[in-house]
Structure 1
Amino acid sequence: MPNKKSGIRFVRKEPIFFFLLAAYALLVAYNIKFLNSSLVEWNTVAIIASFLIINTGLLISGGIDAAAYAMLGRIKSFRKLALASIALTVLVSMFITNDASLIVLVPLTMSIGRISGSDVRSTVVLQAIGANLGSMLTPFGNPQNIIMFRHYGLSAPQFILAMMPIFLISALVLAAFVFLISRTGRASQPPPRPRSNRALLAASILLFVADTAGFLGNYSIWFFVAMSAAAIAAMTALRSKGSKVTAVLFRIDVFLILTFVLIFLVINSAATLLPRLHTNSGVLMFLYALVASQLISNVPATVLLQKSSIFAPLSWGVNVGGNGTVIASLANFIAIRQGGGISPIRFMKLSLLYTTIVALFAIILIEV
């Protein structure tokens, strides 16, 4: 039987999971109606799970290491590597959402750090900010934008033009953070690249392309369940010689998937307890959306406020508010989880500072 110390180590290894579990238990104790599986956005969980499992195949195959070697071969400066990683995250998140982009690109950054022998955890935090930044510009960059785009009946050009001022300000602040925080100097020459599992790599790439197409095509939950099953089958059937099936399957971050289920249960329950705000003040709506996002995440905040708000202050508030706390955006949690032991405190020190600076500029823009 596992001893008490091993149980304590397990809780310390998954602190956010157990914190959310305790929070959900308190919410259910407060109101038994919160014991409701419909609070979970199962389609989103299925999409995240499929990308995570397929990405595990890319990791095991050596494909992500190969991409990291390629970047290190072309870019020698640590600062340029950080800038390239963050800029790529901003660009990709405009099209496949902030969550999905980080699932793929944070492991790439971690691989670059491991191969070059550098600490890239600050870069990963800035990647999370970059993912939230890129996703704010397009109507389909994140779930809250999709909700508002449909609710307010805007055209794509109208949406992008409304978001452009805060996007440009946020991009300039992020660029300043990258310049001030990223490490100077040149990366050392990487060691010879190990051989990759080409069969598994090819299968994982095909599955990733299909999964992305299904995501952009708004396919049903069963498509992503099938993609997850196909990825697991590929990893077990095409695993490298000598590796055990259990060793391959244990690489899948099941606790991350379970934590997302708890996140939805907690934030969607808590959202019902917040009062609705009715105001004609753009600044007040922006601030309320910003603060609500820190407490219950930006998607529930959007649902809570969309019926009593004009578009721009709400959209700016929930998108800028996606940065800050760990739960402000699902992308933040992905970055922390896959970022090689980034503590929530370390993440929030940088993210909250960034959010405060951008929020001050946003208030000035709204008042002008």
Structure 2
Amino acid sequence: MLKALARPFLRDRFLHLLLIIGAACCLAVPFRPGLWAAAIDWHTIITLAGLMMLTKGVELSGYFDVLGRRMVKRFGSERQLAMFMTSAAALLSTFLTNDVALFIIVPLTITLRKLCSVPVNRLIIFEALAVNAGSLLTPVGNPQNILLWGRSGLSFAAFTWQMAPLAGAMVASLLVLCWFCFPQKALYYHGHDRIHTWQPRLVYTSVALYVAFIVSLELKQEVWGLALIALGFIILARRILLKIDWSLLLVFMVMFIDIHLITQLPLAGDALHDVSQLSPGGLFALGIGLSQIISNVPATILLLNSIPASVLLAFAVNIGGFGLLPGSLANLIALRMANDRRIWVRFHYYSLPMLLWAVLVGYGLLLLLT
């Protein structure tokens, strides 16, 4: 059992890279490990852990198999299914946040691999891009928008209205790309005669625990909510806790620590001090570029210390979610759940062109708005 739990940590090359970066930074800044725990956003870690357990509970219940079979029967072609899944990912991300949307969509997509010949990796890539495009619309679509909304003083409707042109353009562009990337190829169902069983008790328990967890998050009692989920699965199906990719949590924790160490570098401190003097074009490029390196949520946190929450900053950090893998934590979540090394390179075949297009569209919209 211990060997099975340790295997993901030993095979995770991205985790190893983050550890190397952190070790290198420790050579250039004061070594203060006592401050590292404070650098971690524990609310994010706890929320992620709870969602990982809940979605794994539904996945192992077999319900996604049942739902997947119904979907395959409903959609006649690969293109129709891809358009639906991409649209659903974008829509869910507008009010469930991009991470939660992926925890619902990606396990269901993986189930489709057992039912038909749809290119699952390509579909997961489009879903990752879709949640980045859809989530930028509302103040609650992603963590960076939550931060920007709180600092901006705008109403929910006003913030959504200012983001609507970019969100609409990116979702529409992605659906057009999806149309061309998935052929009008008939879906052939592999298991028409199979009678599939699922575990309603595990599904209903997971849903009930999900509601309780959301309530605990709203009440700022996320630790108790996480404990309740863990206790529920220990009693009902402890195998779920052994099937989770716990190394993903360590990746996020090390990422927060690395960002903390990077901000302590003298060069980084001097650069951030001069941010407020940049031109609008310079700020736009900085927000996008910084997001590509350290992810758009930490980039937002850093930049808000120097510049106000504006539509320019909102556009920049949301556009920065496209492109390179670190641009958005949602990218990392989606590709890790795919559990296929080939997807890491293929993701950039689509995400980098989307980044270039988003930069052109976003900058053009900013010129029109100002």
TM-score (norm 2): 0.88
Q: In structure 2, do the counterparts of structure 1 residues 144 and 248 end up closer, same or farther at CA, with 3 Å as the change threshold?
A: closer
**Is the 2:209–2:229 contact (alpha carbons within 8 Å) kept by the matching residues of 1?**
no
**Is the 1:46–1:224 contact (alpha carbons within 8 Å) kept by the matching residues of 2?**
no
Q: Deviations over 1:128-178 (max 9, x none)?
A: 111111211111111111111111111112101111111111112211221
For the residues of structure 2 that align with 1:332 and 1:93, how far apart are their CA atoms?
Answer: 13
**Is the 2:325–2:331 contact (alpha carbons within 8 Å) kept by the matching residues of 1?**
yes
For residue 80 of structure 1, report the CA deviation from its aligned partner.
1.2
Structure 2, gaps ≥5 residues long: none
Q: In structure 2, do the counterparts of structure 1 residues 193 and 231 end up closer, same or farther at CA, with 3 Å as the change threshold?
A: farther
Q: In structure 2, do the counterparts of structure 1 residues 218 and 34 end up closer, same or farther at CA, with 3 Å as the change threshold?
A: farther
Q: How does 1:197-346 map to 2 (within 5 A)?
A: 197-215=199-217, 217=218, 219-236=220-237, 248-273=240-265, 274=268, 275-276=271-272, 277-279=275-277, 281-306=279-304, 307-309=306-308, 311-341=310-340, 342-346=342-346
**Is the 1:66–1:193 contact (alpha carbons within 8 Å) kept by the matching residues of 2?**
no
Residue 37 of structure 1 corresponds to: 37
Amino acid of the residue matched to residue 353 of structure 2? L
For residue 248 of structure 1, report the CA deviation from its aligned partner.
4.3
**Is the 1:43–1:220 contact (alpha carbons within 8 Å) kept by the matching residues of 2?**
no
Residue 90 of structure 1 corresponds to: 90
TM-score (norm 1): 0.89
**Is the 2:101–2:131 contact (alpha carbons within 8 Å) kept by the matching residues of 1?**
yes
**Is the 1:79–1:183 contact (alpha carbons within 8 Å) kept by the matching residues of 2?**
yes
**Is the 1:271–1:296 contact (alpha carbons within 8 Å) kept by the matching residues of 2?**
no
SS in 2 for 1:137: coil
Q: Is 1:194 the counterpart of 2:204 in the alignment?
A: no
**Is the 1:101–1:131 contact (alpha carbons within 8 Å) kept by the matching residues of 2?**
yes
For residue 282 of structure 1, report the CA deviation from its aligned partner.
2.7
Structure 1, gaps ≥5 residues long: 237-244
Residue 240 of structure 1 corresponds to: none
Q: In structure 2, do the counterparts of structure 1 residues 32 and 234 end up closer, same or farther at CA, with 3 Å as the change threshold?
A: farther
SS in 2 for 1:343: helix
For the residues of structure 1 that align with 2:303 and 2:32, how far apart are their CA atoms?
Answer: 21
Of the structure 1 ranges 256-265 and 289-298, higher mean CA displacement relative to structure 2 is found in 256-265
For the residues of structure 1 that align with 2:135 and 2:32, how far apart are their CA atoms?
Answer: 30
For residue 272 of structure 1, report the CA deviation from its aligned partner.
4.6
Q: Deviations over 1:14-61 (max 9, x none)?
A: 111111111112122222446311111111100000000111111111
Q: In structure 2, do the counterparts of structure 1 residues 210 and 71 end up closer, same or farther at CA, with 3 Å as the change threshold?
A: farther
RMSD of the alignment, in Å?
2.3
Of the structure 1 ranges 182-191 and 351-360, higher mean CA displacement relative to structure 2 is found in 182-191
